Structures are given as structure tokens and as C-alpha cells.
Amino acid sequence: MPDLVESKPLSGFQDLLPQDALAFEGAVERLKQVFRRYGYAPIDAPCIYRFETLTGGRAGIDKELFEWHKKEGRDKTEQGDHIALRFDLTVPLARYVAANAASLTFPFKRYDVGKVWRGERPAKGRYREFYQCDFDVVGTVAPSSDLEVALVMADAVTACGVDKFRVRLNDRQILNGLLASLGLLERSSDILRVVDKLDKIGPEAVTEELTRPAEGDKPGLGISPVAATSVLSFTRLSSELAGDALLAELARRFESNPVAKAGVERLRFVVKGAQDLRGADRFAVDLSIARGLGYYTGTVYETVLLDAPEFGSVCSGGRYDDLASYYTKQWLPGVGASVGLSRLLTALAKISSDSSKKAAPCPVLVAVAPEVDPIEGTRTADLLRKAGIGAEVYHAQAIKDQPSTAAKLGKQLKYGDARGHRLVVIVAPDELSRRAVVVKDMASQKQDEVPLSGLVDAAMRHVSS
């Protein structure tokens, strides 16, 4: 017999156990329902592309890719395309919109949930293969689309079972207006990337990085201390003023700055609309939110869990100026966000007081006594399934050189307990001769004889309680 082959996943890759995969899949299905309810449609696009298609001529991106030259031909000596796995869902969206523009309706609203790959060195909590869950409206600058994204974010987080959260909003046009007034507009992208670290590294470290000159590996922007102080004190404004007072102050400050003023107007529309429709405490202007990504140009969003703020933002996004300029000349401004599904579910598991992770994919297990014809087990489970109640039949575990295909009831009940079934229906000879079964509630461990004609009702009562 040859040696066994290694079965563990590679470093940076992971297996989800069935109970975790079930919870993950449930969350994904609920999120997709939310997206569809707002008119977003799914797309399906490849995971593999030409290297050039993914990098679009941009420097720096290639360092994270899983990329290789596909060998072709019977003897695999032909050098084929230089290809790579997608590293996010945004570049593939841009490519998809450009490639299929003639068949799409604009504004184009899509969602996409799928795996992406990054060749980075694995670290705790950082994987080389992981899910992203994105939704975007492409081809519009209407503020109603910015508001919609805020509402979808709130509904998405709610659909995952979170009640206490806050969506923090800002608008890069406001920040850029401020930077313009300081003569720093052309350095906006660098400055906002540093400001984005406020939550993580604090105001002193941010000031330090803004003001010191870059030196070797150490980053620094070398802007004047006066300008850095102005930027930081501006980001603090939203912790000193709130609601209408804050919006009025912003309007006053940027009265004569048309770009920032338009940003204030949009922010007002989005925040007040979202508060009106989903609750005032769920949305707040936060002028310190910048988002690290350079391509955001308008509204930016972050979502924190009030009971687990240490997990950072579980759903983030923003408005961008032009999605697909690498691939098409069509002007495609848009707005969208990403649900950080893995982070959100990890945070939820921490918040949740319910530590039981057992959850069978269906509520009922049908156990069949060894003396009974196994068809009776299948028939009983089928009665429940036809009534819409998930029910599985116990199949005897195979044991080498023991050909029996029946199992003792004790073993079957143990399986039901391990799997987390809420109800076990026992098909045994005595009861069956009276056209009845035993119904056992696994939580209370109480059991009753129930006629087969009343089984659906009895199961329904237990399962819906």
C-alpha cells in the first residue's frame, strides 16, 4: 500500500466545517435577498484573466497576484498566456462592464459574492483565498444612489443578525475642499491615506507621518505642521458638533468652495434620508473617515458594530469617479460597498451569547429501529419533507467487515444529538404496528407517541416553537 497523501490545506487556505459553512451560506443567501430587493442582479465572471487585464498597466498591483504562464500543448512545452487569479471583485467588475456594455442596461446594478486570491505571506487572520461580497451602482451620479448604498449597507448588516451598528459617512469632496483651501489638493490621495489611519494609530502618529519628510523605507509626507493641524482639527469637528448643527457649520465653512459645497449637499441628502428611513442613531457624519483607497471621490462609508468596535468596519465603500477607464472610453461613475463577511461573522460569534454551534441543516432526524424495514424510515421522513419540514433519515455507519446496514437506536440518537437535530422521530416495530411513531424533543428530552396521521402537525409545533 502506498504512503498516504497529505490532506491538510496549504498555508493561508482553510476548510470550513459544515456548521460554519451552513452559517456562512445562510448569511450569503440573506444578503443576496437584500441586494435583489433593491434591484441588484448577480453576475458571474471568470476567476482567471490575462495578467495585463487584471493589472491594467498599473504599477504595484502585481506583487499580490497568483500568476503564472499556462503551459499548453500535449507535452506542455508551449508557453501559453500569462494568466492570474483575480485579487478582488472590483477590477473584474470594471472589465465585465466594459466587455458587456452593449448588453447591459445603465445604470447597472450588480452584486457579486465570490472568492479572491492574494499571494501575500499568510498571517493570523489573513488568508490567501477568501470571500468578497460587493454591490455597486455603475453609471450614475444621482445622490439617490449614494443614499441607496447607505440603506443597503444597513439592511445587509441587519440581515446578518446585527441590531446595534452605526454607518459612518463622509464625503471626499469636503475633505478635498479643505485640502484645496490649504493648497494641498494635488496631494489629496496621499494625505487621505494617512488620515485614514486615525482610528488605528491615533492623532499623534498621523501628525508625525503627515509632517516628517519621507526617509528611506519610512513613509512621510513633509507637509507643514500648521496644515497638518488644520486637517486634524477639521476631522475632529464631527465629534464636537453633530446633526443639523454640524451640517450647518460645514455649509458655512464651504460657502464659497463649490466642490466642497456640493459634497456637503450630497452628504446632507444621504445622511438625513437614511436617518429618516432607518433610524437617526444608525447613521452619523464622521469627518475622520477617509477610506484608504485612492479611487474614492465622493461619499465614503464605514460600518461599526457598537458591541464589537474592535473589529473595525464590517461594511465599507464609497463613490468613485470612473470605474472602467482602463478598458473603455465610456464614462462610468458609480458608488458601491463591500460586506466584510468573514469579519462580520467572526464579530457576531463573539457578540452572540449562544455558544452552541450545533445546527443541523434540517430540524428532524428519523431514526429507524434495526428490526424495521428501512423503507419505513424513508417514507416517514418523506411525509415531513412533503409538508416542507426538513427531515433526514439515519443511514447506518459502515464498519469494515461488519456488513450490517442497520444500527441500534441509541447510536442513531447520539448522531442526532451530535448534529444538533431538534427533533428525532423514532420508527419502531410496536408503534409502527399501531401506525404511530415516537417523537422526541432533543432539548427537553421528552418523548411522546404520535399517530402517523398527526406527525406533520406535531413536528410543525416543535419546529416552530
User: Closer to a second copy at the Cβ: 57 or 125?
Assistant: 57
Does residue 129 belong to the site contacting a second copy (CB under 8 A)?
yes
Is 418 buried (19+), middle (13-18) or exposed (0-12) by CB count in 10 A? exposed
Residues 441-460 that bind a second copy (CB under 8 A): none
Report whether 415 contacts 396 (CB < 8 A): no
- What does the block give as the cell for 16? 470550513
DSSP string, 420-451: T-SEEEEE-HHHHHTTEEEEEETTT--EEEEE
**Cis peptide bond N-terminal to 2, omega within 30:** no
Does residue 143 belong to the site contacting a second copy (CB under 8 A)?
yes
Does residue 56 belong to the site contacting a second copy (CB under 8 A)?
yes
DSSP code for 206: H
Residues 393-422 that bind a second copy (CB under 8 A): 393, 395-400, 403, 405-406, 415, 418-419
Binding range to a second copy, per CB under 8 A, among 179-187, 197-205, 237-245, 369-377? 369-377
Residues 160-219 that bind a second copy (CB under 8 A): none
- Residue 402 phi/psi, 5-degree rounding, is -120, 100
User: Closer to a second copy at the Cβ: 106 or 229?
Assistant: 106
Q: How far is the CB of 197 from a second copy (least distance, A)?
A: 24
Contacts with a second copy: how many residues (CB under 8 A)? 116
Binding to a second copy by CB under 8 A, coded x per residue (else -) over 149-168, reads --x-----------------
Q: How far is the CB of 17 from a second copy (least distance, A)?
A: 6
User: Closer to a second copy at the Cβ: 204 or 217?
Assistant: 217
Report whether 381 contacts 391 (CB < 8 A): yes
Does residue 107 belong to the site contacting a second copy (CB under 8 A)?
yes
Cα–Cα distance between 137 and 423 in angstroms, integer? 45
Cα–Cα distance between 92 and 54 in angstroms, integer? 7
Cα–Cα distance between 236 and 53 in angstroms, integer? 41
Does residue 59 belong to the site contacting a second copy (CB under 8 A)?
no
Q: How far is the CB of 322 from a second copy (least distance, A)?
A: 10
Binding range to a second copy, per CB under 8 A, among 22-30, 163-171, 214-222, 290-298? 22-30
112-147 b/e with 16+ CB inside 10 Å = b? bbbebbbbeebeeeebbbbbbbbbbbbbbeebebbb
User: Closer to a second copy at the Cβ: 183 or 279?
Assistant: 279
One of 25, 255, 281, 448 touching a second copy (CB under 8 A) = 25
